[in-house]
């Protein structure tokens, strides 16, 4: 599973507690990137602590402001503040309304102040103030006279640059520029947006689980047809189609272990650290039957396992100098993404119960420099439909710390999250010109559009070994990845376009000093590193001899356990606790963590074994999490498949639970409460306090 373990070093303090100010990497800027602290202070716009602008963008805004040629001393600072709102850390929300991009931010006015979650300075009606101050001021190339005119208001003279010539009244003007934002939470009042702290809801009393399958499985994906079926896969390379029983019915996962949906074991190289790492089903799978597998192959055993080595001259790496790793030669093993089909005699792929193990197309092949840290998860973006591919830094078991600095090398695909268009195939000339590693196109808005030095596949960089990422099913802008640590810290990151998550400059919040650096170093001052929003130090879970390795989960969006709603769940591979993290203020990207107690229902369909000398269920190693079409969350472990169920079934108290409705066999309650919490009113993502270690084993997956 790529290396999911690290050596044990007991650190003397908890860096997360010492540096809470570092735990922010959202909201998004208008270019989908996270705000950052500019290396060079901005000279024009007042956004230097957390900004969406660098000094070049700041200078561009200054020139744009000068081109307005505003001479009125009262109107001039208002227009400057409006232009500079592009640098606000909430600019994506200020400038995007109902999927339309604006030239002017949402201006606070009386129609939305009551719904705003901003600080109470919003009592001033900024839209009215702009009108009253600037209505008769001539503005050259006015930002208030673009395409919004044709949609709202009645312009009378499009050649004039006075507001009174463009809009009939203050009401028309504020209908156009002071309407509510997507979240009905954000508006601009002339100052950088700030939020009120909201009351942090108390954590759940406990998480109740039931065991419904034996496994073990490494991946779980909901069937794209919206049914109660899911796909489960093993590290060896088999995929099964299973039906999930109704909660409370006493049923188990319905699948035939002897009859997999597809068996890819002939292609997959499987051992402790290799195998089938991920699977993804096309959003239109129910119609087109397309699905994809991410796995490892061994070129010594398979003639089809042939690809470029990730250690090459493009990244200033010579494979002949790498040496062997666990007896393997550099690039003996490869990471592969291949496409398969479930089309055939059935009328639709949705009704197919099996698929052909023959590859339709090889999407991606890359030789690995060493045997560890190769991630491998794949998933489709819920909004854009592109394929995201998580890749570790290719680390060696004998040389820790990404010695060749692959994660920071913009031409290397190691230590990266990639974003690929698998629906549009490139021409041979595109593959050569762009230096692509396979059969896919590059989405036009990948960050290489802005950074020509970046390999075009890359969406985010600076990861060590991302192990289980997910999109929040109700806020697709929240793309959350757990990244396995080295010696001190396991982290959770909010992934944004072009984001650099610091490895190997940083491990967690502290500068990392590699033992060897044949690949050179990257200075901390040369990049805008984005710090984790949550995580845990190894000293927290390694109170006894053992290891730490994070396993990422999901933002809980089911109403099966209403007290867990909106909380992000994750775990450690070895440790025997779960965590949840909550965001406060809403929409801020700042998180606090809580350990969540858990137990197994006495009426679990499959009896839960207990830890020796404890009433806690023995989960074994926590490999992964899953989510079905009802948004129920599952935990995939070495001991089986567990589902989160109503807390009352474990005698936990949840004030939001309708006990009678929950314990009655039948469908899970409909998420009516979730529907009432629209948009960014749902801004609860949760992360976690910390565990005890269960095992003295180390793991290099």
Report how far residue 574's alpha carbon sits from residue 306's, in angstroms, rounded to the nearest whole number: 34
- Contact present, 401 and 384 (Cβ < 8 Å): no
Q: Are residues 386 and 468 in the same domain?
A: yes
Q: Are residues 332 and 400 in the same domain?
A: yes
Can you tell me the mean pLDDT for 191-195?
Answer: 85
> For the packed helices 170-177 and 126-134, what is the interaxial angle rounded to 10 degrees?
130
Q: How many CB atoms lie within 10 A of CB 270?
A: 16
Percent of the chain with pLDDT over 90: 62
- Contact present, 551 and 701 (Cβ < 8 Å): no
Q: How many CB atoms lie within 10 A of CB 696?
A: 12
Provide the CATH number for the domain around residue 442.
2.120.10.30
Q: Are residues 327 and 405 in the same domain?
A: yes
Q: Are residues 173 and 312 in the same domain?
A: no
* Pair of tokens at residue 485: 């640590």
Q: Are residues 456 and 531 in the same domain?
A: yes
Print the domain residue range for 80: 47-177
Report how far residue 697's alpha carbon sits from residue 535's, in angstroms, rounded to the nearest whole number: 21
Report how far residue 655's alpha carbon sits from residue 657's, in angstroms, rounded to the nearest whole number: 6
Q: Are residues 102 and 248 in the same domain?
A: no
Bridge partners of 578, per DSSP, are: 571, 596
Q: Are residues 164 and 62 in the same domain?
A: yes
Q: Residue 212: inside a domain, yes or no?
A: no
Omega before 216 within 30 of 0, i.e. cis: yes
Cα-Cα-Cα-Cα torsion 382, 383, 387, 392, nearest 10 degrees, comes to -70
Q: Are residues 172 and 250 in the same domain?
A: no
Coil vs helix vs strand at 58: helix
Q: Residue 28: inside a domain, yes or no?
A: no
pLDDT for the residue 26: 63
Name the domain boundary from 177, 200, 217. Answer: 177
**pTM (2 d.p.):** 0.84
Measured distance between the N- and C-terminal CA atoms of the chain, rounded to whole angstroms? 4
Confidence of residue 350 (pLDDT cuts 50, 70, 90): confident
- Contact present, 669 and 560 (Cβ < 8 Å): yes
- Contact present, 242 and 252 (Cβ < 8 Å): no
Q: Residue 23: inside a domain, yes or no?
A: no
* Pair of tokens at residue 310: 């990730």
353-to-122, 160, 282, 350 alpha-carbon distances in Å = 57, 66, 16, 8
Q: Residue 532: inside a domain, yes or no?
A: yes
**Statement: residue 186 has pLDDT above 50:** yes
Bridge partners of 687, per DSSP, are: 593
Confidence of residue 24 (pLDDT cuts 50, 70, 90): very low
Q: Residue 564: inside a domain, yes or no?
A: yes
pLDDT for the residue 504: 96
pLDDT for the residue 185: 61
pLDDT for the residue 325: 87
The alpha helices in 139-186, defined as continuous H runs, are: 148-151, 163-166, 170-177
Q: Where are the beta strands (DSSP E) in 439-488?
A: 458-461, 466-472, 475-483
How many domains does one find in the chain?
Answer: 2
Q: Residue 687: inside a domain, yes or no?
A: no
Q: Are residues 624 and 547 in the same domain?
A: yes
Q: Residue 695: inside a domain, yes or no?
A: no
Coil vs helix vs strand at 212: strand
pLDDT tens across 440-464, in order? 999 999 999 889 999 999 999 999 9
Q: How many CB atoms lie within 10 A of CB 352?
A: 19
pLDDT for the residue 348: 78
**Statement: residue 42 has pLDDT above 90:** yes
Report how far residue 239's alpha carbon sits from residue 233's, in angstroms, rounded to the nearest whole number: 4
Number of residues written out for the chain: 701
pLDDT for the residue 49: 86
Omega before 492 within 30 of 0, i.e. cis: no
Q: Are residues 357 and 457 in the same domain?
A: yes
Q: Are residues 433 and 304 in the same domain?
A: yes
Q: How many CB atoms lie within 10 A of CB 49?
A: 11
Q: Are residues 254 and 369 in the same domain?
A: yes
pLDDT tens across 533-572, in order? 999 999 888 655 457 999 999 999 999 999 999 999 999 9
Q: Residue 553: inside a domain, yes or no?
A: yes
């Amino acid at each position: 599973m790529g290396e999911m373990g690290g050596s044990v070093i007991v650190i003397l303090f908890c860096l997360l507690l010492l540096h809470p100010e570092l735990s922010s990497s959202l909201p998004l800027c208008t270019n989908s990137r996270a705000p950052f602290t500019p290396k060079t202070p901005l000279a024009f716009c007042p956004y230097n602590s957390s900004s969406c602008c660098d000094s070049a963008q700041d200078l561009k805004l200054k020139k744009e402001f000068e081109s307005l040629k505003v001479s009125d001393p009262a109107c001039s600072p208002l227009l400057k503040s409006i232009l500079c709102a592009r640098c606000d850390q909430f600019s994506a929300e200020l400038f995007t309304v109902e999927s339309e991009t604006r030239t002017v931010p949402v201006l606070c006015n009386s129609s939305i102040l009551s719904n705003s979650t901003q600080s109470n300075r919003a009592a001033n009606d900024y839209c009215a103030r702009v009108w009253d101050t600037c209505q008769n001021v001539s503005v050259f190339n006015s930002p208030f006279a673009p395409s919004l005119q044709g949609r709202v208001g009645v312009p009378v003279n499009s050649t004039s640059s006075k507001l009174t010539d463009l809009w009939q009244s203050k009401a028309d003007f504020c209908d156009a520029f002071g309407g509510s934002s997507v979240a009905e939470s954000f508006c601009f009042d002339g100052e950088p947006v700030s939020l009120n702290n909201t009351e942090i809801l108390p954590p759940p009393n406990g998480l109740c689980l039931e065991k419904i399958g034996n496994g073990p499985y490494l991946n779980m994906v909901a069937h794209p047809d919206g049914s109660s079926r899911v796909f489960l896969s093993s590290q060896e390379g088999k995929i099964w189609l299973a039906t999930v029983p109704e909660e409370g019915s006493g049923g188990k996962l319905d699948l035939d272990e002897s009859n997999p949906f597809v068996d890819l074991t002939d292609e997959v190289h499987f051992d402790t650290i290799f195998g089938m790492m991920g699977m993804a089903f096309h959003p239109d799978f129910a119609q087109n039957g397309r699905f994809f597998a991410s796995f490892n192959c061994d070129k010594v055993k398979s003639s089809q396992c042939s690809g470029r080595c990730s250690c090459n001259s493009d990244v200033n790496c010579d494979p002949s100098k790498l040496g062997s790793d666990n007896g393997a030669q550099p690039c003996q093993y490869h990471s592969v993404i291949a496409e398969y089909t479930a089309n055939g005699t059935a009328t639709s792929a949705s009704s197919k119960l099996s698929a052909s193990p023959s590859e339709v197309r090889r999407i991606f092949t890359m030789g690995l420099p060493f045997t560890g840290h190769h991630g491998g998860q794949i998933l489709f973006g819920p909004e854009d439909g592109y394929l995201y591919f998580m890749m570790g830094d290719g680390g060696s078991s004998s040389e820790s710390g990404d010695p060749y600095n692959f994660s920071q090398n913009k031409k290397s695909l190691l230590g990266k999250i990639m974003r690929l268009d698998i629906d549009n195939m490139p021409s041979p000339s595109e593959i050569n010109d762009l230096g692509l590693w396979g059969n896919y196109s590059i989405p036009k808005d990948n960050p290489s559009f802005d950074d020509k030095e970046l390999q075009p596949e890359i969406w985010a960089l600076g990861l060590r070994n991302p192990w289980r990422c997910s999109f929040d099913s109700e806020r697709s802008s929240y793309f959350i990845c757990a990244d396995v640590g080295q010696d001190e810290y396991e982290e959770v990151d909010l992934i944004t376009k072009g984001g650099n998550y610091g490895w190997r400059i940083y491990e967690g919040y502290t500068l990392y000093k590699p033992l060897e650096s044949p690949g050179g170093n990257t200075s901390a001052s040369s990049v805008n590193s984005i710090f984790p929003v949550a995580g845990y130090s190894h000293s927290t879970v390694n109170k006894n001899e053992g290891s730490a390795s994070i396993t990422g989960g999901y933002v809980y969006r089911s109403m099966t356990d209403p007290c867990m709603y909106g909380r992000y769940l994750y775990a450690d591979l070895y440790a025997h606790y779960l965590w949840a993290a909550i965001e406060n203020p809403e929409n801020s990207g700042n998180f606090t963590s809580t350990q969540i107690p858990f137990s197994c229902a006495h009426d679990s369909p499959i009896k839960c074994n207990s830890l020796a000398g404890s009433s806690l269920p023995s989960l074994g190693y926590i490999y992964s999490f899953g989510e079905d079409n009802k948004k129920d969350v599952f935990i995939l472990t070495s001991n089986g498949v567990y589902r989160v169920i109503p807390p009352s079934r474990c005698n936990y108290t949840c004030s939001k639970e309708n006990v009678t409705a929950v314990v009655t066999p039948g469908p899970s309650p409909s998420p009516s409460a979730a529907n009432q919490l629209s948009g960014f009113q749902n801004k609860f993502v949760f992360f976690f306090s910390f565990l005890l270690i269960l095992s003295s084993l180390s793991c290099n997956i």
